[in-house]
Structure 1
Amino acid sequence: MRSLIDISELTTGEIEELIGVANDIIANPEKYSEKCRSKKLATLFFEPSTRTRLSFEAAMLELGGSVLGFSEAQSSSASKGESVADTAKVISCYADIIAMRHPKEGAPLVAARNASIPVINAGDGGHCHPTQTLADLLTIYREKGGFDNLTVGFCGDLKFGRTVHSLISALIRYKNVRFVLISPNELKLPGYVKDKLDKEGIEYTETDSLENSIADLDILYMTRVQKERFFNEE
């Protein structure tokens, strides 16, 4: 079993296989109720979370496993100066897999390089959020039947919205996908993500008007303003 730090680490075939398994779990939950029996998930959340942390914990329990961990950095040895690398090494002795959220970009990658068990990135700063992307792809698949020939609108904080960055990275690998990027000028999609779109020849437009764009969309992806990542609120 390997770590999952960025959605780009999965091939389209692997993504579609995971979607198939997810659909089977939805249809036949009892078939999977003991799949993780005697396995332990460590949820290492250095940043506040409700939905992501509880989703991981609920999923592990539904699969017959158990959960340990912490929900804030202050309740861990990070508050005493322990590094992410050392935390990952220690937790490897207690659990079979780690789900980590951290405010610093790249922290889960550091953990994965030092842990002896797989690490799942549950969100790192404004960088990416691969498991949210898998959930989003499942929703799109169930609603649209696939990922080709879609016009997808992203609206809100596109600068710091890690779920946006991850979902774009996944969707650019499908045919005839087009993006409409809807945000105020201060919260536009980062240049490195637009460079990726340009490199892949993906069509996209930028606008600050949802009203003028919504009729052209197959999917609208809304994001909140990530105020906790602002360096300056002016």
Structure 2
Amino acid sequence: MLKGKNLIDLDEFTTDEIDEIIQLSQKIARNPDEYHGIAKGKILAALFYEPSTRTRLSFEAAMLRLGGQVIGFSNPSASSVSKGESLSDTLRTVNAYADIIAMRHPKEGAPRVGAKYIDIPIINAGDGGHQHPTQTLTDILTITSVKKRLSGLTIGLCGDLKFGRTVHSLIKTLSRYPENKFILVSPQELKIPQYIKSQVLQKKNIEFAEAEKLEDVIQDMDILYMTRVQRERFFNEEDYIRLKDSYILDKQKMSLAKDDMIVLHPLPRVNEIAYEVDEDSRALYFDQVKYGMYVRMGLMAKLLGVK
């Protein structure tokens, strides 16, 4: 049973538990009206200490579609945080009002610390450059729905692999499924952290390759996961400007790819995917947005224990 459990890091969920969430989310995606109202009387607190469009709105839409209600803030300056209130005090207060919390925070580990002060489920909606587990669930639901499997895939990840929390979460989770391979495409300055290579890929003897040019390896991919170079993770503006246009996916590069390769992106994009690619049937990043709402419906239904 997942009722009452926190989602801080998908590593703390078994593969069976992940599959359970994905299966319910697929049922919801096929017939969302059947699940309307199952969380009537429940309240989600959406606490977003960092800007967000898709994650925040998809959590809110998910709870509303389940029949529940939403409270919270999208900017800490609109809360007592601006007066110096501690994270623990904010969460203890919200604990009295809500049944479940979704929190995004710029500090790595903040949701795990916050969980110590409350007795309702908390969902990590992104903590700094660390983890983004519900985006990974979104990615997995998208892949499952289109590819009909989560194993035997060659997954290319391109762009900011150093600071990209979505990339780290996705590699760790897809590494659990057999016969997956990874192609890591980035400039030297934004390569995947060593701990991902040593503690995840090498430790599990998972095949992977690193490249600096997307056009050299795109033809081998079943999935291409594009990411933006994140300005907010850089301390030096000059480094950001130098690296931000490292990779731009366009029609020419797409012509080199398999006919059934799919392109995913956690969004927002800046200019790493040319708008001309939107017309390609393999571009699924806006489908991904809708899957994100369905997977958050499935996740919250499981953690709340609603029938």
TM-score, with normalisation over the residues of structure 2?
Answer: 0.75
Match of 1:55 in 2: 58
User: Which AA in structure 2 matches 1:202?
Assistant: I
Equivalents in 2 of 1:50, 1:143: separation in Å?
24
1:44 and 2:47 are equivalent in the alignment: yes
Equivalents in 2 of 1:9, 1:226: separation in Å?
27
Match of 1:35 in 2: 38
**Greater mean alpha carbon deviation, residues 224-233 or residues 154-163:** 224-233
Equivalents in 2 of 1:75, 1:201: separation in Å?
48
Count of aligned residue pairs for this structure pair: 234
| 1:77 CA drift (Å) | 1.6
Match of 2:163 in 1: 160
- Name the SS of the counterpart of 2:184 in structure 1: strand
| 1:64 CA drift (Å) | 0.1
Show CA shifts across 1:47-78 (max 9, x none).
Answer: 00000000000000000000000001211222
1:77 and 2:80 are equivalent in the alignment: yes
Match of 2:122 in 1: 119
Q: Which runs of 5+ in 2 are unaligned?
A: 240-307
1:114-193 equivalence runs, <5 A: 114-193=117-196
Equivalents in 2 of 1:47, 1:66: separation in Å?
21
Match of 2:108 in 1: 105
Equivalents in 2 of 1:90, 1:231: separation in Å?
34
Match of 1:225 in 2: 229
Equivalents in 1 of 2:210, 2:90: separation in Å?
41
Equivalents in 1 of 2:193, 2:86: separation in Å?
29
Q: Which runs of 5+ in 1 are unaligned?
A: none
Identical amino acids, percent of aligned pairs: 61
Match of 1:207 in 2: 211
Equivalents in 2 of 1:69, 1:173: separation in Å?
35
| 1:232 CA drift (Å) | 2.2
Equivalents in 2 of 1:137, 1:180: separation in Å?
17
Equivalents in 1 of 2:222, 2:30: separation in Å?
26
**Alignment partner of 1:88 out of 86, 91, 97:** 91
Equivalents in 1 of 2:133, 2:93: separation in Å?
24
Equivalents in 2 of 1:148, 1:47: separation in Å?
34
TM-score, with normalisation over the residues of structure 1?
Answer: 0.98
Equivalents in 2 of 1:191, 1:2: separation in Å?
30
Equivalents in 1 of 2:65, 2:207: separation in Å?
41
- Name the SS of the counterpart of 1:200 in structure 2: coil
Equivalents in 1 of 2:195, 2:86: separation in Å?
28
Equivalents in 2 of 1:55, 1:30: separation in Å?
17
Aligned-residue RMSD, C-alpha: 0.9
Contact 1:182 1:206 in 2 (8 A): yes
| 1:208 CA drift (Å) | 0.9
